[in-house]
Each structure stands twice: as C-alpha cells, then as structure tokens.
Amino acid sequence: MNAVRRGIFALALFLAVTGCAKQVISPDSAPTTGASVESAPSRNATAARLATRYLGAPYVWAGASPSGFDCSGLVMYAFHQVGVAVPHNAAQQFRLGVPVARDRLVPGDVVFFNQLRHNGIYLGDGRFVHATKPGGVKIARLDDEWFRTRWVGARRL
C-alpha cells in the first residue's frame, strides 16, 4: 500500500509540474491561420513575416485590422495570428516578455521608441515593420536617426 501511495504522489507531482510548463491558448487567442503551436522564436519570426503582409495598409488611430493599423495594433494583430494575446497599447506591451539588448535582437522581437509611444516588430538586419502616420505600415531601419535617438528597448514575447 505504501508503494501505491508513493506512485500516486509521484504521478500527481509530475502532472502538477508539467501542467505549469504547458502553453495554454484560449479559443479567443488561438491561431487563426491553422498553424500549430510553434516554439517562441519560430512563432515570433512568423508574426514578423505576417506583419509584412500588410505593408502599405493605412495608418488608422486605434486601428488593429488589415483595413488600418496603428503601431501597437499591428503588433497585437500579428501576434494574435500566431496565438499570442497582447494588449493594444505599446506601454503595456513593453511589460510583457523579457528584455532584449539591441545587439541581441532576433526576428519577432518587439522594439520600442519615443517614451513607449511607438513600437514595431524586428525583421532582422537592422530593419523592423511598424505602422506610422504618415505612411501606414512600412519598414524602417533601427539606425535611422529618429529611431536611433528615441530607442527605449526591446522585448521578446
């Protein structure tokens, strides 16, 4: 009987520990593209690629759809497509994930500027996609003067 109790305890402990490690995606935030749950780096890179599909979409204040985006709306929309729920606010998005040094950026990291009033998704090679007024969704370079001088940080979701 003692061995049975130890076995049940070990199974319960295993389920408790592994249950915490699982990624839970609610139906509201499930991938809408039919993609399977990916590793975070792959998933984030996919979000970055998806955001580039909307190059040329207009800037719309508080916009979060292909008919028009603001900066945090583009980030929210792209990450939602890969099953990650983020708020529609750059400052709130900055509280998520883990900080990333500028020289350690990988595609899919979220980059922040101008006292957390602007953000975008890093693409690699010093480039990121963002929604801006004027211009809508476009690609810019981190080393462009405006972005270089207003850099706040980056987060990996």
pLDDT band at 10; cut points 50, 70, 90 = very low
Q: What is the pTM of this model?
A: 0.76
pLDDT band at 2; cut points 50, 70, 90 = low
Summarize pLDDT for 103-134 with one digit per residue, the tens: 999 999 999 999 999 999 999 999 999 999 98
Q: Which residues pair with 124 in a beta bridge?
A: 127
Summarize pLDDT for 34-92 with one digit per residue, the tens: 344 457 779 999 999 999 999 999 999 999 999 999 999 999 999 999 999 999 999 99
Structure tokens at 20: 């915490």
Q: At residue 21, does pLDDT exceed 60?
A: no
Chain-centroid distance of CA 45 in Å reads: 9
CATH topology of domain 39-156: endopeptidase fold (from Nostoc punctiforme) (3.90.1720)
Residues 6 or more apart whose CB falls under 8 angstroms from that of 66 comprise 54, 57, 77
Say what the pLDDT of residue 7 is. 43
Say what the pLDDT of residue 74 is. 98
For the annotated catalytic residues, the residue numbers are 71, 118, 130
Domain ranges for the chain, please list them: 39-156
Lowest mean pLDDT among 20-29, 107-116, 136-145: 20-29
